[in-house]
Amino acid sequence: MSILLIFMAGMLFLAGILFIYSRIGREPRRKNLLCWGLYLIWYGITWTGISFVYINASVGHIKATSTAIFLFGGISVVLAIVLARLLGLISTNRKGSISVSA
């Protein structure tokens, strides 16, 4: 199982690098550095949390496992939303309300 997790971590890291590299072609340098730094921090926190949960679950520490899921999972989700917003995957522009006429 640990070899599969290591393989998945490497593949997802490479996929993330290729995805960000293709999305940030002509952006300002400051935004480029912010996106790359945020991606590295998000990736590190996510896989630290996954390994922490994996190790504690295999030993049988139930409280440590559930705490790690909420702590690392929550931080990872917040950072992923911020990164998606910076990359333009989530926009705040609303193009009007949708109306349904009968």
For residue 96, being part of any structural domain is answered with no
The predicted structure's pLDDT at residue 98: 54
For residue 33, being part of any structural domain is answered with yes
For residue 15, being part of any structural domain is answered with yes
Domain carrying residue 63: 2-87
pLDDT of residue 94 exceeding 90: no
How many residues comprise the chain? 102
Total number of domains constituting the chain: 1
Torsion of CA 36, 40, 46, 47, to 10 degrees: 140
For residue 102, being part of any structural domain is answered with no
Q: What global pTM score does this model have?
A: 0.76
Tens of pLDDT, residues 3-54: 887 888 889 889 888 888 888 777 788 888 898 899 999 999 988 888 888 8
